[in-house]
Amino acid sequence: MNISEWASLAEIAGMGAVVISLLFVGFEIRRNTRQAHADALNTGIRFVRTITGITSTAEDADLF
d(CA 41, CA 57): 26
Per-residue pLDDT at 28: 98
Per-residue pLDDT at 9: 95
d(CA 15, CA 19): 6
Per-residue pLDDT at 60: 67
d(CA 21, CA 63): 56
pLDDT digits 0-9 by tens, 17-61? 999 999 999 999 999 999 999 999 999 999 988 888 777 777 766
Amino acid identity of residue 33, one-letter, is: T
Q: What angle do CA 48, 54, 60 make, to 5 degrees?
A: 130
